[in-house]
Amino acid sequence: MHERFSADDLAPFLDRGVVVLAHPECPEEVQHAADFVGSTTAMAQYLAQRRPARVLLLTECSMADNITVEHPDIRFERPCNLCPHMKRVTLEKVRDVLRDGTNEIHLDADTAERARRPLERMLAL
């Protein structure tokens, strides 16, 4: 879902003084153009501390909805991208996987390394 954003998507907002917050899973070009890069939790913390007037959240819509409710005084621009995979995860399914040890995924070393990098960046924040 995050790969749907591009640096070109940001251009109209940058000219209008909007603070851009990007998730670490966004493309590198988007991260470089953003004012802040962090997990959804880190974005919420940034907003609580900095209180910008206008913000562009580059993350999954339902995650952004939670943040916007917590900050009614901030105007949010919304280039919404719904992640189809996040809607498939339920507490029951997570419980079943952890309990039963099912749905193991095997990745080649290159894919595993590329997947590890954004996770490590999120954990480092």
CATH number of 26's domain = 3.40.50.10800
For position 124, what pLDDT does the model report?
Answer: 83
**What are the tokens at 28?**
């590198």
For position 115, what pLDDT does the model report?
Answer: 85
Phi, psi of 120 (to 5 degrees): -65, -35
36 — pLDDT class (breaks 50, 70, 90): very high
pLDDT at 82 over 70: no
* Domain assignment of residue 108, given as a range: 2-124
Strands 36-37 and 19-22: parallel
What's the whole-number mean pLDDT along residues 71-91? 69
70 — pLDDT class (breaks 50, 70, 90): confident
Residues 6+ apart with CB under 8 A from 111: none
Residues 6+ apart with CB under 8 A from 48: 70, 71
114-104-22 Cα angle (round to 5): 35
Which range among 47-51, 78-82, 95-99 has the greatest average pLDDT? Answer: 47-51
As for how many domains the chain has, the answer is: 1
Distance CA 100, CA 56 (A): 40
What DSSP letter does each residue of 50-89 carry, written as one string?
H--SEEEEESBHHHHHHHHHH-TTSEEE---B--TTGGG-
**What are the tokens at 34?**
């953003």
